[in-house]
A = this chain, B = another copy of it.
Amino acid sequence: MSKADPPSEPRSGTDGERPLSRASVGRFSLYLRHLEQFHSAGTKTISSSQLGEALGITDAQVRKDLAYLGNLGHPGVGYPTQDVIAALRRKLGIDREWRVVVVGAGNLARALLRYRGFQQQGFRIVALFDADAGKIGQRIDDLEVHSPDTMPAVVAATGAELGLLTVPAEVAQGVADTLVAAGIRGVLNFAPIVLRLPPHVSLVSVDLTVQLEQLAFLVQLGGNE
């Protein structure tokens, strides 16, 4: 009975050293934010229990997560904030600038454009698209609204790799396809729909209705956690 190994992860020898759980990555951003706060407050070193306290998780969890970054901690001392910040940035892939386009020039797009957190972490919004002829040519926060037809050209010219989708659900799949055709490599989708993308394009979805319904469920259950 020869058992074939599932070819789950064809290890590209570039960066993958350790197993790296997907769940940990979800916390990396939070570690990063808190570490940056501690760091600019002058803290040079931080312990797993301090960090866990700040995020509301256990110290063991923090150590397991940070272990994925290599052996940065010093027993009896803690983790050097600076080093962990740098390692997290690198692991997350935000040790460089990402160019981002936004499709759908509504209120959500405006909110995203003015959101400071993006710039701070190296995300630069370089173009804005909308199908509404009335909006094309307008300027919103220094960005001109382009027609979706120009997407391939603009994406190529700006070198954008990520697309934020803030369009109505009915047209979201079509717009996503256009983004993919234009060469985008990742989509952050806000439309309430399950998008289908080719396997070489990454997808993260933020579904506001789902989140609100989740909240209603929790409240109905009584209390939190």
Contact = CB atoms under 8 A, between A and B. Distances in A.
Given A29-B209, A213-B29, A219 B114 contact: no
A15 B105 CA distance: 43
Interface stretch (A63-71, A75-83, A117-125, A126-134): A117-125
B29 A219 contact: no
Nearest to A7: B222
Interface residues of A, number: 69
Contacts of A203: 215, 218, 224
Contact of A92 (B91, B162, B197, B213): B213
A192 B211 CA distance: 16
A188 B202 contact: no
A216 B4 contact: no
Contacts of A220: 92-93
Contacts of A206: 206, 208, 211
Contacts of A186: 215-216, 218-219
Contacts of A181: none
Interface of A: 4, 7, 9, 12, 25-26, 28-30, 32-34, 54-56, 91-94, 98, 100, 106-108, 110-112, 114-115, 117-118, 121, 123, 161-162, 185-188, 192, 194, 196-197, 199-204, 206-225
11 contacts: A25-B217, A56-B196, A91-B217, A93-B217, A117-B192, A118-B212, A123-B212, A162-B216, A185-B219, A187-B215, A199-B224
